[in-house]
């Protein structure tokens, strides 16, 4: 009942690895479906969501907060999708968006640059310099995205449980190692892990329902006790309080709901 | 009018910066003042000597002495003893109670810091609310406002008035006497109280009376509860037993886990073999086959019993005696001004380990916090509900810093020193009035007398001084000097006057009053006074109005801070009174308008402008 996230640079054969792992373990493979889910659930055009989780925020977006909203929607949909376990997710920032769920096996697939260039040349029918430039630009965008939103570098190996470079190791080797790791006790779902995943799902749903109006809130959920952290105390608090009843009624799994204004949110807050 | 110079522009920029920092509160107000104290000589706007002249100013020394005298009076328990006769006079009528206590608070406030008088009376007011079954929200605001208004009765009643003579000195204007403002202050107090007596039902929130017994002694079995809680939300005590195999198939469960998971506070637990621990530490493990008592909502208790497989007993059994109201209970405490607990999280304070009492909830500005309260950083005015044995709560009370809703003999009082305290207060007043000795010298004599006659020790005197207020005053004084010295005050005053044209003295004073009120709502009253006095004196001179009266309007109107909970007294009473900002706007707006009208009318009547 593991959850596996496979993060990869573009054209690094991460998709092939993810497909084979899912097939070998008989797990569900998800990627773009999360976008569709989020688009349907939150009534946001898919293209906007895709841009939000791919491109780094521009200067104005940092103030418009639309990206935070789209990412909250995406994260909520992703958590809902993986909560049942037996899932392989390959896509952007799975390791960051699912941070807080203990039994997630976080994998990073890298590939030798020449091999990546060859793949892009073949796929897009472009010369080597163009293919290299395209890969570098894509890597730069992804690095900027994670750095601007999570202050992390996607190439930092300490973010992952397993980092595999497809060069001397083949895709098949990578699949074997991942499957072996997924069978480790730490990545099996336990009652405690499932509860944490459910709590996170509740926190994500609460955040998604409030983020548009209150982009700076952070949410935690522990045993169904939801805490909404808000910076400072201002007129927004009264406005937020009015929304709480609605949230209690519409989101299941909430035992208690409280707003902590002016209190620093814990690092694991959504 | 003088042309605008670079120095003037620099001073105005510094004023702008100070106002900006006062509003955004990136750093504390006293730090802003110190910033001014240091930056102004660096910019050559004042000399180094002038930069620090505030520390030796008459105003600063006077305020230190006033604080020490106030602390001395407090230490004798004299003020608490006033409550009983005041109540006898007041009887049961809420209007009479408001009048009696408000007048008493106002008079005390006229000789000590407003916040000190307000904090001193809070426990007594909470007790009166319980005894007479009058909602606390109907008592606190009128009394808090009276504490602020009382500051206008004498020249030592509040920081702006203490500061006034120092700010007038550069203009060679005659200083005000100690009781020069008394007629105006008294009428302001009477008007404020009248507003609440006549219109209280329309402008005050109609809360519910506090529950509890009628104990009149030390901390005792009369648990208080949150008046805003409905029956459904009422916390109760429950006793449970863990099964014999509780620890067999699960990770260890600790006291703090139960609070985190189910919002239940374990107030007693059995440590094997059968040692009963009241208010256990968060890291105590919940073992198999033991009894525990928890405080919380029934739905949460049922949730825990079901999830953890515990047996919920019908009544308290094992802990019936140790948790009886004779032995233990819960009290609401208010974090007092300058409390050592303020600025610390409950985790850092660690009530359970240090005092063996359990914090149950925190109430702050319309919100009751029950979850993850350990991370909440306690602020002045927060209401913390604590549970423990009366013995332990008494120990905590002795520590000071927390205002208990019940009166207590816990604090070390020196009633035998009452006469000495009274004698030194009278001596200081006689020196000021009879011998025309300077305010700071006379008041410091009174303070020293209290120390020499052991009303309070020198260490207690040092501890009582609020250094934030001292540095706020001392740091802003050079800004006033720079404003005057560079001609910036005169330039701004002339610019404003040329904009508004010729106006009558009454209109000018009214405009100054409104301006001061607006300033004091967003920046500190001291800041507003220092910035406005040089300005308005120049304006008055240019408009051929009495400049002393213009300064007096600023000194008085900077106490007109009722519309927002920004004044220290309002902030302190907001939590216990369960007030919302809108409550202050509603009642404060009326009192502020009345204040302005009465102040101008009285100045015109007394000084004949």
Cis peptide before B273 (omega within 30 of 0): yes
Residues A177 and A218 in one domain: no
Residues A102 and A167 in one domain: yes
State ipTM: 0.72
Q: For residue A194, is it within any domain? A: no
Closest CA to B525 of B574, B483, B570, B486: B570
The predicted-structure confidence for B478-501, as pLDDT tens digits, reads as follows 888 888 888 888 888 788 878 877
CB-CB neighbors (< 8 A) of A264 in chain B = 375
CB-CB neighbors (< 8 A) of A241 in chain B = 366
Angle at the Cα of B147 from the Cα atoms of B167 and A238, rounded to 5 degrees: 100
Kindly determine whether residue A256 and residue B376, on different chains, have CB atoms separated by under 8 Å: no
Residues A231 and A180 in one domain: no
* Largest CA-CA distance found in chain A, in angstroms, rounded: 59
The predicted-structure confidence for B89-101, as pLDDT tens digits, reads as follows 777 777 888 888 8
- Show the domain range for A225: 201-261
Kindly determine whether residue A225 and residue B263, on different chains, have CB atoms separated by under 8 Å: yes
Residue A234 pLDDT exceeds 60: no
The pLDDT, as a whole number, for residue A50 is 76
Q: What is the mean pLDDT of residues B176-184?
A: 89
Q: Identify the contact set of chain A against chain B, taking CB-CB distances under 8 A.
A: 192, 220, 222-223, 225, 227, 233, 237, 241, 255-256, 258-261, 263-264, 266
Interface probe, candidates A223, A253, A264, chain B, greatest B C-beta count within 10 A: A223
Choosing from A133, A153, A187, the residue where a domain stops is: A187
Share of chain B above pLDDT 90, in %: 17
Q: Identify the contact set of chain B against chain A, taking CB-CB distances under 8 A.
A: 251, 260-263, 300, 303, 365-367, 369-372, 375-377
Domains of chain B in start order, with CATH, are 219-406 (3.30.70.1450)
Residues A122 and A163 in one domain: yes
The pLDDT, as a whole number, for residue B316 is 81
Q: Which pTM was predicted? A: 0.66
Q: What is the mean pLDDT of residues B363-372?
A: 78
Q: For residue A195, is it within any domain? A: no
Task: Tell me the shortest Cα–Cα distance from A248 to chain B, in angstroms.
Answer: 16
Choosing from A121, A153, A187, the residue where a domain stops is: A187
The predicted-structure confidence for A156-190, as pLDDT tens digits, reads as follows 888 888 898 888 888 888 899 988 888 888 888 78
Length of chain B: 609
Q: How far apart are the first and last CA of chain B?
A: 26
Residues A177 and A206 in one domain: no
Choosing from A154, A187, A220, the residue where a domain stops is: A187
The predicted-structure confidence for B71-115, as pLDDT tens digits, reads as follows 888 788 776 677 777 777 777 777 888 888 889 889 888 887 788
Closest CA to A174 of A187, A186, A165: A165
Q: What is the mean pLDDT of residues B122-143?
A: 80
Q: What is the mean pLDDT of residues A65-77?
A: 81
Instruction: Name the H helices within B3-111.
Output: 6-24, 29-42, 48-51, 58-75, 78-90, 94-109
CATH value at residue A99:
3.40.50.300
Residues A12 and A66 in one domain: yes
Confidence tier at B146 by pLDDT (50, 70, 90) = very high
Please name the residues in contact with B443: beta carbons below 8 A apart, sequence gap of 6 or more.
Answer: B61, B62, B65, B66, B69, B156, B428, B432
Q: What is the number of domains present in chain A?
A: 2
Closest CA to B341 of B394, B392, B377, B391: B377
Q: For residue A128, is it within any domain? A: yes
Q: For residue A237, is it within any domain? A: yes
Residues A222 and A182 in one domain: no
Top-ranked range on mean pLDDT: pick from A146-150, B63-67, B395-399, B579-583:
B63-67
Beta bridge partners of B254: B285
CATH value at residue A242:
3.30.70
Residues A20 and A118 in one domain: yes
**CB contacts < 8 Å between A and B, how many?**
41
Residue A110 pLDDT exceeds 70: yes
The pLDDT, as a whole number, for residue B382 is 84
Q: For residue A59, is it within any domain? A: yes
Residues A166 and A241 in one domain: no
Residues A247 and A120 in one domain: no
A24 close to A175: Cβ distance less than 8 angstroms: yes
Pairs from A186-189 (Cβ < 8 Å, separation ≥ 24): A186/A102, A186/A103, A187/A2, A187/A3, A187/A103, A187/A104, A187/A105, A188/A1, A188/A2, A188/A103, A189/A1, A189/A2, A189/A85, A189/A103
Kindly determine whether residue B263 and residue A266, on different chains, have CB atoms separated by under 8 Å: no
Residues A213 and A93 in one domain: no
Ranges B286-300, B326-340, B396-410, B433-447: which has the least confidence: B396-410
Residues A231 and A102 in one domain: no
Kindly determine whether residue A263 and residue B367, on different chains, have CB atoms separated by under 8 Å: no
């Amino acid at each position: 009942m593991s959850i596996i996230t496979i993060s990869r640079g573009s054209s690094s054969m991460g998709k092939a690895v993810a497909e084979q792992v899912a097939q070998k373990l008989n797990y569900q493979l998800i990627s773009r479906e999360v976008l569709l889910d989020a688009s349907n659930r939150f009534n946001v055009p898919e293209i906007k969501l895709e841009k939000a989780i791919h491109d780094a925020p521009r200067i104005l977006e940092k103030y418009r907060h639309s990206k935070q909203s789209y990412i909250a929607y995406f994260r909520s949909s992703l958590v809902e999708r993986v909560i049942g376990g037996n899932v392989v997710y390959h896509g952007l920032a799975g390791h960051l968006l699912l941070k807080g769920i203990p039994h997630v096996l976080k994998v990073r697939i890298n590939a030798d640059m020449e091999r990546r260039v060859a793949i892009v040349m073949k796929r897009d029918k472009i010369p080597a310099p163009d293919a290299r430039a395209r890969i570098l630009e894509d890597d730069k965008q992804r690095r900027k995205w994670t750095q601007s939103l999570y202050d992390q570098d996607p190439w930092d190996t300490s973010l992952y449980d397993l980092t595999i470079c497809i060069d001397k190791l083949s895709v098949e080797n990578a699949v074997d190692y991942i499957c072996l790791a997924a069978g480790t006790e730490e990545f099996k779902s336990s009652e405690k892990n499932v509860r944490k995943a459910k709590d996170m799902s509740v926190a994500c749903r609460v955040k998604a329902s409030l983020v548009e109006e209150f982009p700076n809130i952070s949410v935690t959920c522990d045993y169904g006790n939801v805490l909404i952290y808000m910076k400072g105390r201002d007129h927004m608090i009264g406005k937020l309080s009015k929304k709480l009843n609605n949230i209690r009624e519409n989101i299941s799994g909430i035992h208690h709901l409280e707003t902590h204004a002016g209190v620093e949110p814990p690092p694991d807050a959504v | 009018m003088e042309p605008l110079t670079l120095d003037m522009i620099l001073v105005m920029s510094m004023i702008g910066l100070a106002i900006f920092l006062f509003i955004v509160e990136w750093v504390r107000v006293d730090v802003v003042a110190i910033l001014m104290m240091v930056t102004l000589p660096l910019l050559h706007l004042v000399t180094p000597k002038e930069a620090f002249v505030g520390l030796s100013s008459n105003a600063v020394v006077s305020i230190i002495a006033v604080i020490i005298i106030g602390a001395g009076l407090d230490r004798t328990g004299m003020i608490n003893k006033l409550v009983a006769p005041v109540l006898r006079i007041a009887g049961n009528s809420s209007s009479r109670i408001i009048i009696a206590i408000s007048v008493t608070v106002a008079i005390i406030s006229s000789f000590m810091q407003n916040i000190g008088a307000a904090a001193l009376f809070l426990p007594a007011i909470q007790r009166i609310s319980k005894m007479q079954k009058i909602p606390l929200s109907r008592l606190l605001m009128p009394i808090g406002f009276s504490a602020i208004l009382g500051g206008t009765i004498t020249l030592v009643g509040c920081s702006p008035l203490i500061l006034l003579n120092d700010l007038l000195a550069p203009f060679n204007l005659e200083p005000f006497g100690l009781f020069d403002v008394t007629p105006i202050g008294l009428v302001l107090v009477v008007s404020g109280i009248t507003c609440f007596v006549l219109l209280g039902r329309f402008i005050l929130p109609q809360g519910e009376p506090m529950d509890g017994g009628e104990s009149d002694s030390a901390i005792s079995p009369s648990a208080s509860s949150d008046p805003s809680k409905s029956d459904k939300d009422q916390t109760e005590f429950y006793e449970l037993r863990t099964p014999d195999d509780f620890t067999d198939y699960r990770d260890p469960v600790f006291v703090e886990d139960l609070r985190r998971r189910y919002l239940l506070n374990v107030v007693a637990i059995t440590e094997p073999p059968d040692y009963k621990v009241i208010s256990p530490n968060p890291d105590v493990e919940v073992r198999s086959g033991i009894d525990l008592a928890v405080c919380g909502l029934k739905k949460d208790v049922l949730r825990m019993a079901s999830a953890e497989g515990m047996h919920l007993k019908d009544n308290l059994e094992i802990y019936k005696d140790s948790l009886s109201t004779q032995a233990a209970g819960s009290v609401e405490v208010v974090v007092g001004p300058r409390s050592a607990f303020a600025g610390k999280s409950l985790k850092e304070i660690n009530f359970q380990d240090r005092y063996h009492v359990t914090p149950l909830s925190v109430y702050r500005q319309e919100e009751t916090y029950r979850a993850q309260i350990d991370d909440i950083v306690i602020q002045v005015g927060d209401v913390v509900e604590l549970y423990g044995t009366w013995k332990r709560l008494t120990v905590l009370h002795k520590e000071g810093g927390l205002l208990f809703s019940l009166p207590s003999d816990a604090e070390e009082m020196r009633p035998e020193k009452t006469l000495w305290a009274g004698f030194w207060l009278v001596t200081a007043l006689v020196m000021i009035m009879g011998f025309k000795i300077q305010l700071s010298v006379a008041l410091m004599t009174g303070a020293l007398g209290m120390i020499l006659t052991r009303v309070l020790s020198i260490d207690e005197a040092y501890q009582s001084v609020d250094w934030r207020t001292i540095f706020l005053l001392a740091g802003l004084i050079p800004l006033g000097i720079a404003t005057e010295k560079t001609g910036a005050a005169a330039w701004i005053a002339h610019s404003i006057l040329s904009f508004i044209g010729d106006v009558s003295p009454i209109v000018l004073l009214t405009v100054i009053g409104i301006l001061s009120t607006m300033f004091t709502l967003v920046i500190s009253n001291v800041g507003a006074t220092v910035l406005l006095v040089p300005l308005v004196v120049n304006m008055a001179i240019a408009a051929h109005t009495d400049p002393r009266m213009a300064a007096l309007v600023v000194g008085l109107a900077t106490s007109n801070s009722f519309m927002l909970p920004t004044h220290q007294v309002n902030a302190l009473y907001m939590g216990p009174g369960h007030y919302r900002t809108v409550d202050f706007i509603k009642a404060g707006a009326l009192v502020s308008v009345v204040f302005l009208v009465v102040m101008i009318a009285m100045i015109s009547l007394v000084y004949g402008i």
